[in-house]
Amino acid sequence: MNAPPPPLAPTGRSQTAGDLLEVSMGPHHPSTHGVFRMNVVLDGETVVKLTPVFGYLHRNHEKIAEKNSYLGSIPYTDRLDYICSMTNNWAYVLSVEKLAGIAVPERAEYIRVIVGEMTRLFNHACLAGFLLQDMGALGTPLMYAFREREKILDLFEALSGSRMMCNYMRFGGCRCDLPEGWPEKAARIGAGFESFLDEFEALLTGNEILRARSEGVGVLPRELAVNSGVTGPGLRASGVNYDIRKVDKYGIYDRFKFRVPLGERGDVFDRYMVRILEMRESLMILNQALHDLPDGAIIDPKVRLRNLRPKAGEAYGRIESPKGELGFYLISDGGPIPYRYRVRPPSLINLTVLEDMCMGHTIADVVIILGSIDIVLGEVDR
Amino acid sequence: MLGLGILKGFMETGRNFCGSYYDPERLTTVQYPEERLEPQANARTIPFLIYDGSDPIGGLRCTACTICEQECPAHCIEIVKDTAKKPDYLGKMQLHPKVFDIDTAVCMECGICAEVCPFDSIKMDQVFERAGSHRRLTLHKDDLSKSNEYYNKIHPAEAAAVDAARAEEQKKAQARKAAAAVPATP
Amino acid sequence: MQTLEQIKDRIAAALPGARLAVIANASPAGQPSLLLDHEHALEAARFLRDAPELRFDYASNATGVDWPERTVKERVKVKKMIDGVEKETEELAERKIPGCLEAVYHLYSMELGQGPLIIRLRTGNRTDRVTLPSLTPVWRSCEFQEREIFDLFGIVFEGHPDLRRILMWDGFEDHPMRKDYAPAASGEAKA
């Protein structure tokens, strides 16, 4: 295998040295993963300046939530990162549980882990598919990933009634219990995902084109990643061992054995590879959780879903969502609606370093660097 | 060797291509609308109102308590209470909705209304082919009203539990009534 | 992790003259926060990031909170002369709490795996004294978030490299996340 090419140095040319071209990429560009726009200044094909432009999908989610009850905001969280509605639910209910001091029954905790890890599985698989789509592998890897996602979405539909907008978790537990035969089906699909991953890796990881396009591209140095608040696989690809499942041990994550994959160089390939390895760890967690799944109550019967009035105060709760640290900051004034409701969107904050990662690369690389960050515009613009 | 990775990848695509002819795990799609998948028991789309008996309007279980109107996250339900009261299945006098509108353009099919309803009156439907040649997106009481038999058909387990609970309550109410009717002997 | 009081004392020792206050939090989450003054906020943030036992190298969340002016009714004990005898009686008194805008930062340490440390900054009022020092020079993760606070709450961050609206469009005038925001006033369709 050839050594990876060194990262390109930013062009030292002054802006007057050549004719610069400003390209408005997006908001309707097929590779910007939604209505995201970048103003890219190009010198030839090389990026010398990149300004992200947000807000095309802005609906002021936070303001809407300050007019709804605590319960009424759960379906809205589904629509933040609309690929991973289960983890969004989880982050929100975790924050409300912190705010109101609610305990969760053990069975509900296990179910949360199971659906959360399934969400991570298909999010990462689809991200790899989208990344390859951006590289020019039109369709094939993405459709394979979607096929596997479809099976998990069927499980989610059987569980919650909806494929993507699950609206499943409640403070103090989950909305309904698992249907008959669900854990067995989940175990079967988990096993199928394992062999899918082997195939997916045989298809992609060794592929020379993928390596040539991704190695040494969009390098994110460790210090910059930490300082600019990058979280999730993007941070770990830069070699920082920070996984909130390990650090905070929220829920029952201290009961499971899993490793945190780390990258070395922090380039696009590392971000791809960290996700592939994370899927394997997720499968390990999934198997353990399905094996240990206890019987019991699904929700704390004392919790008032309607008309919940937490004591005046504030709480910040966060989880490791597939995109990074998803946090909810809630302030209660003792009333039935939150006084302040804030989403800490990993997708938006991970974009802080987009310009630094793209500098000096060609415009074709901008597409895959953006693809490797993994954004969902529902969450970026809220 | 350069190109080996690509060749390996081609083998995978070949395997998936051939597999899609005989292995249902590799081809999960069906040819809609000629082929259809059965909806899952829990599946939900828009809400509907349940009526008992044969009168779709008079038999509505809804008591116009407006809990769903208040709790609806999208605020797509509008209820106007009727002034007249009618006895419900327990014999208690209850209000009825004069107007019950759901704006399906706004409804996000979250199911919170069905979850908070204390009268088991609003439930989630499973119709998904709602395209039509009209632009009427606000559904009124008579569009929303569907029979309990229909509910039993689409959500069998859930509906059976609801029916059993209601029958139990009815029995208790009748027993209470009978006890009250017997004059206390000195 | 050190307690908030200890951290406060350490900052006070490192930055003489800094006015710090611990804001209690009554919720079961138990996340009290530290109020910093404007003059020393940037220095204090640098200290929190660089001090070897603290190392809050990661500013996770930065957000604004709007506190309009409000009056609270409280029972206060007052001494009164009644018939020549001094007596203590309870009276209902109204207390005005002046309005302000608040920026809240949630800090964590990736190196030491501790947190959260919550720091707050408050503006003078909600109309003309809405300037706060930007912490983006210390933590770049605040860059977009402070822009968002500026956009939605109207806090002006001094020292921010690129303070523009981020979610609303450039010609937009009001600040939607303020509690007294009225959509109709800015020409939008009423919700």
Collapsing DSSP to helix, strand or coil, C51 comes out as coil
Tell me if chain A has a CB within 8 Å of the CB of B23.
no
The beta-strand segments (E) located in chain A are 20-25, 37-43, 46-53, 169-170, 173-174, 313-321, 324-332, 340-344
CA quadruple B144, B150, B151, B152: dihedral, nearest 10: 170
Q: What is the pLDDT of residue A203?
A: 85
Report the pLDDT value the prediction gives residue B161, as an integer from 0 to 100: 87
pLDDT, position B183: 64
- Amino acid A4: pLDDT: 54
pLDDT surpasses 50 at A370: yes
The answer for residues whose C-beta is within 8 angstroms of residue A315's C-beta and 6 or more apart is A95, A96, A98, A99, A329, A330, C27, C28, C29, C31
* Residue C39: band (very low, low, confident or very high) from pLDDT cuts 50, 70, 90: confident
Say yes or no to pLDDT of A9 above 50: no
Q: Tokens 């990933």 correspond to what residue?
A: A145
Give the pLDDT confidence score for residue A3 in this predicted structure: 54
pLDDT at A8 over 70: no
Residue to mutate among B1, B18, B28, with most A CBs inside 10 A, is B28
Q: Examine the pLDDT at A164 and tell me if it is beyond 60.
A: yes
How far B72 CA sits from the closest chain A CA (Å)? 7
Environment class of C24 (CB within 10 Å of its CB; exposed 0-12, middle 13-18, buried 19+): exposed
Task: Please give the pLDDT value at position B186.
Answer: 55
Q: Is the pLDDT of residue C168 over 90?
A: no
- Of B10-24, C7-21, C41-55, C71-85, the poorest mean pLDDT is in C71-85
Per-residue pLDDT averaged across A88-114, rounded?
91
Report the range of poorest mean pLDDT among A6-15, A146-155, B20-29: A6-15
From the candidate CATH numbers 3.40.50.300, 3.30.499.10, 3.40.50.1100, 3.30.70.3270, the one assigned to the domain spanning B47-181: 3.30.70.3270
Taking the C-alpha atoms of residue A324 and residue B19, their distance in angstroms, rounded to an integer, is 36
| pTM of the predicted model as reported, rounded to 2 decimal places | 0.88
Q: What percent of chain B has pLDDT over 90?
A: 3
pLDDT attached to residue A282: 92
C30 near C3, Cβ under 8 Å? no
Cβ-contact A37, A25 below 8 angstroms = yes
Cβ contacts from A onto C, under 8 A: 115
pLDDT at A357 over 60: yes
Radius of gyration of chain A (CA): 21
Q: How far is B47 from chain A (nearest CA, A)?
A: 13
C partners (3+ CB pairs within 8 A) are A
Contacts of B40 in chain A (CB under 8 A): 154, 157-158, 161
- The residue ranges of every structural domain in chain B are 47-181
**Low-confidence residues of chain B: pLDDT under 70:** 1, 182-186
What gap in Å lies between CA C58 and CA C107, rounded to an integer? 6
C-beta separation of B113 from B71 below 8 A: yes
Render B108-166 in DSSP notation, one character per residue: ----HHHHH-TTS-EEE--------SS---EE-HHHHEEEHHHHHHHSHHHHHHHHHHH
pLDDT tens for each residue of A372-382: 988 888 888 88
Bigger pLDDT: A31 vs C66? C66
Q: Which chains contact B through at least 3 pairs of Cβ atoms less than 8 Å apart? A: A
Of C27, C104, C144, the CB nearest to A352: C144
> Model confidence at A111, in pLDDT bands (50, 70, 90)?
very high
Distance from CA of A88 to the nearest CA of B (A): 15
Residue C92 has pLDDT above 90, yes or no: no
Cβ contacts of A36 on chain C, cutoff 8 Å = none
ipTM score: 0.84
Alpha-helix residue ranges (DSSP H) falling in C75-153: 142-153
Nearest CA in chain B to A167: B110
**Across A9-23, A74-88, B61-75, C76-90, least confident range:** A9-23
Q: Considering CB atoms only, which of B8, B40, B110 is closest to A75?
A: B110
CA distance linking residue A250 with residue A318, whole number of Å: 8
Query: Per-residue pLDDT for A326 more than 80?
Result: yes
Q: Report, in this order, helix, strand and coil percent for chain A, each rounded to 5.
A: 45, 15, 40
Look at strands B77-87 and B93-103 and give their pairing.
antiparallel
Residue C77 has pLDDT above 80, yes or no: no
Q: CB-based contact (8 Å) between B43 and chain A?
A: yes
CB pairs under 8 A between A and B: 89
| Six-digit token string for B163 | 């029916």
CA distance A331 to A344: 14
pLDDT digits (tens, 9 = 90+) for A332-348: 988 889 999 999 999 99
Q: Which two tokens stand for residue C25?
A: 């939090």
- pLDDT, mean of residues A307-325: 89
Q: Give the residue-averaged pLDDT of A13-33.
A: 72
Residues written for chain C: 191
What are the tokens at B98? Answer: 């004069």
Whether A185 and chain B come into contact, CB under 8 Å, resolves to no
Highest mean pLDDT among A217-226, C13-22, C86-95: A217-226
Q: Is B6 in Cβ contact with A167 (below 8 Å)?
A: no
Residue C116, preceding bond cis, omega within 30 degrees?
A: yes
d(CA A354, nearest CA chain C) in Å: 12
C-alpha span between A341 and B21 (Å, rounded): 50
Q: Is the CB of C144 less than 8 angstroms away from the CB of A314?
A: no
DSSP secondary structure string for all residues of C131-185 = EEE--TTT-TTHHHHHHHHHHHH-PEEET-TT---SSS-TT--S-TTSTT--GGG
Tell me the pairing of strands C114-122 and C131-133: unpaired
Q: Do A312 and C27 touch (CB under 8 A)?
A: yes
Q: pLDDT-derived band of residue A248, with 50, 70 and 90 as boundaries?
A: confident
Write the pLDDT tens digit of every residue in C15-28: 888 888 888 888 88
As a whole number, mean pLDDT of residues C149-173 equals 88
Whether residue B6 and residue A207 make contact (CB cut-off 8 A), yes or no, is yes
| Residue-level pLDDT at A93 | 92
In chain C, which residues have their Cβ closer than 8 Å to the Cβ of A352? 140-141, 143-144
Angle (deg, nearest 10), helices C41-50 and C4-14: 110
Instruction: State the distance between the two ends of chain B, measured CA to CA, in whole angstroms.
Output: 104
**A194 part of contact set with chain B, CB < 8 Å:** no
Q: How far is CA A343 from CA A95, A108, A112, A118, A235, in A?
A: 11, 24, 20, 22, 20
Q: What is the pLDDT of residue A15?
A: 47
> What pLDDT score does C97 carry?
84
